[in-house]
Structure 1
Amino acid sequence: MTDEWKAPDKAKSEGGEDKSWKLLEKTLLAGVQEQRRSRRWGIFFKLLTFVYLFVALILFTPLMDMEKSAARGPGYTALIDIAGVIADKEPASADNIVSSLRAAFEDTKVKGVVLRINSPGGSPVQSGYVYDEIRRLRGLHPDTKVYAVISDIGASGAYYIASAADAIYADKASLVGSIGVTAAGYGFVGTMEKLGVERRTYNSGEHKSFLDPFQPQKPAETRFWQGVLDTTHQQFIASVKKGRGDRLKDKEHPELFSGLVWSGEQALPLGLIDGLGSASSVARDVIGEKELVDFTIEESPFDRFSKKLGASMAAQLAMWMGFQGPALR
């Protein structure tokens, strides 16, 4: 009789425990959902703040530029930075430099232009574009002089550009020159043979794959490629001679076109540069307008904002939409 009376109590107890677990589970789920809801709203308001700041930046940047322009004196020196590798899609691309040059020459308050160069060179095509544009603008605006000022290094394509200026200045320890052309690569023919790997290429055109590093060099193709480099080198030399004129001591020093580099102090007697100085000293002592106004083309506020915020914005949006992070279901 005792066991019969205890059985209903046991079932009752088990049912109570089950209800308690369900109630606890609901409570936990409600707490998790509330946390997720709070987190989503927090992220939403953060995004709103970012958008607000971005719009404010877009609206007030032109106003700040106008205030700066109004605060400038009656005349100033235009400064254009040429930094890093000279190549397409880089900060020192021909498009950016040429756009900066045109803006500077169109400004009636600009009394002179300083190209502040710190570059090891780069594309001969991009350098040639800038060289030609400098000479064109100088012809259209003969009263506005262009001065190249080399800081750490002005070599190869960077010196190509500098040679188009009215005069070149550098620090005594700057690296100047490297009037030459190079094209480098690797050959893996021996390595392929040791590994027992066979290279198979299919092309139409007898010499289409003549730069393939996995195939042995052919004397005729090597001579051809050397001819291409020599032609480009001669174009470089002709432009430098045209830009520097009689100032260049190339007859006494034919090694000027060998690809060597010199310090600014050594470059001066060779005619590679016209004097020692910095961008500020040239603006002050040569142009006569010590105020420097930067005309360098830079990324827009939108581009800078997008690059800095893009990845984190995507992650935050994914979290807000519930696509990331563990959750009790």
Structure 2
Amino acid sequence: MNTTPVVELTEALALNLSGLPADAAQALSETLLTIAQACAAISEVAAQGALAGAHGLASSSNSQGEDQKKLDVMADDVLSAAMAACPHVAGWASEEHEMPFVSDEHGNQGRYLVVFDPLDGSSNIEANISVGTIFSVLPHPYRGTTPGEMGFLQPGQQQVAAGYVLYGPCTVMVLTCRQGVQMFTLDRSSLRGEGPARWVLTQSEVRIPVATREFAINASNQRFWEKPVQRYVAECIAGESGPRHKDFNMRWVASMVAEVHRIMTRGGVFMYPRDEREPRKAGRLRHMYEASPMALLVEQAGGRAVNGTHDLLEVVPDTLHQRVPVLLGSKEEIDRIVSYHADPHENVSWQLFKTRSLFVQPQA
């Protein structure tokens, strides 16, 4: 019989935020509980899939001109409504919209700004592969005035909390309030009642293993990668016979939430590096909505997150939808990748990729 005490999200937040002034702790707790409730509602729709009309394209596109899925729109609507109703949220920004929103009632006095990707990995919806929500909570830097776009453009180090919710076989929320990382599992039976959704603490101190033999990258972009990434992946593929003297496994889900969750549970490296497809674009992932919150989570769990040369948490965004390269995960491997970027011409296995693919050995 399991006698481990059950700790729910409300209790865990009370402990995590005990070092804050009472009013700040209450405001942040209520903000995070509001986000959790919204994500529980999204989880229900995602679980119903086509039965809830959540499959297929919506008749709209997002701020970047990308086609939206119906579940993208539903998730965005649920989170936006929750933020508008939360008295501690002055404004919020969504990956789906070009400009941020200001609360009609709390725009001046709300303590926090919330940024979110309402549905990460939505290309996988019909394939029934895990998708998720990523969120970040920032201080409102100009309380007493309504927040504009500039108020959101803060480096990741300023985040007071960040997390993601993975809608998989079970729904899991991974959260940091800058006091380590915790995992909560949604008790789906609580959704059948009239009360709030019940989130139960299922892992209290998430730690990413320092070393790993697993990496995730979209190998179809191999020909566009910069030399340091070419070198790193070539050495992993070479396995025991190469300079690393150990075999690696490669993974790729095309859902950042799922990729990071695997790293949180067993270690690994996730890479969406700068490439040469569109030289004017620094990267593919959005700094505010994806890179920054995931970087805080990874660093709080003992890993490292960089853009290749600098820690992602130090990057100050220029625009709300700025894109950045992202390399994160087990610290030993990320440190190695950073060292390759520092000297990209040393021992780069460039010829390896000019003569054969990642996976096909040349004929003897």
TMscore range, shorter length:
under 0.3
- As a proportion of its length, which structure holds more strand? 2
Bigger radius of gyration among the two: 1
Q: Between the two structures, name the one with larger relative contact order (CA 8 Å, sep ≥ 6).
A: 1
- As a proportion of its length, which structure holds more helix? 1
TM-score by length of 1: 0.20
TM-score by length of 2: 0.19
